[in-house]
């Protein structure tokens, strides 16, 4: 790889990293190319070279993040762990994110969900798809736990999975304001206790 290509790739990655950090802490609406320029140490024109419009950048960030998170989820959910351990490891992903830095990072998809009406159409569609795909993966684990007699609930596994997902996404936003990772951990543990009663 030539030095110029490597530098361009590094710059593009640095831009996406800075944008993701800003989205997780402030939201997409509060993020500007000026913020990214200052964080990366490049001119705004360089950002526009890689991402002509803010929507292009947001979409690239969420696509990359979704691929990363689904890789982690699939690794956990395809493992030999029992269903409760799988859900604990999944919840730990949220706790780890919230533990970073000043305990103010949220899942980009939770933050963007609050800003959905102001997002470009393809980014909004990707946010919705992330929610659906996450719930489908969780539903398989919930169903597995129910089938093995580890989880006890009435109703559809898909609804229980949607509830657990919403608890983590919403709980993370609340825990950013008060209680931090320990509060989120306590919420996830309480949900697991309810499933296992």
Interval 167-190: pLDDT, tens? 999 999 999 989 899 999 999 999
Instruction: Evaluate whether 107 touches 97 at the Cβ level (below 8 Å).
Output: yes
When pLDDT is averaged across residues 28-36 and rounded to a whole number, the result is: 94
CATH 3.20.20.10 fits 53-196, yes or no: no
Which of 27, 193, 15, 4 lies closest to 109 in space, CA to CA?
27
- In this prediction the pTM is 0.89
């Amino acid at each position: 790889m030539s030095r110029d290509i490597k530098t361009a790739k590094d710059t593009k990655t640095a831009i996406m990293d800075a944008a993701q950090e800003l989205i997780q802490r402030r939201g997409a609406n509060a993020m500007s190319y000026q913020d990214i320029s200052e964080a990366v140490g490049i001119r705004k024109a360089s950002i526009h070279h890689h991402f002509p419009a803010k929507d292009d950048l947001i979409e690239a960030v969420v696509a990359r993040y979704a691929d990363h998170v689904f890789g982690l989820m699939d690794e956990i959910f395809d493992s030999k762990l029992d269903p409760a351990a799988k859900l604990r490891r999944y919840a730990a992903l949220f706790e780890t994110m919230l533990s970073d830095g000043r305990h103010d990072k949220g899942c980009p998809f939770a933050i963007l969900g609050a800003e959905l009406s102001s997002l470009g159409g393809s980014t909004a569609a990707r946010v919705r798809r992330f929610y659906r795909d996450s719930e489908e993966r969780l539903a398989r684990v919930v169903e597995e736990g129910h089938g093995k007699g580890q989880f006890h609930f009435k109703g559809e596994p898909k609804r229980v999975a949607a509830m657990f997902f919403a608890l983590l996404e919403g709980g993370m936003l609340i825990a950013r304001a008060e209680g931090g990772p320990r509060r989120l951990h306590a919420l996830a543990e309480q949900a697991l206790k309810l499933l296992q009663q």
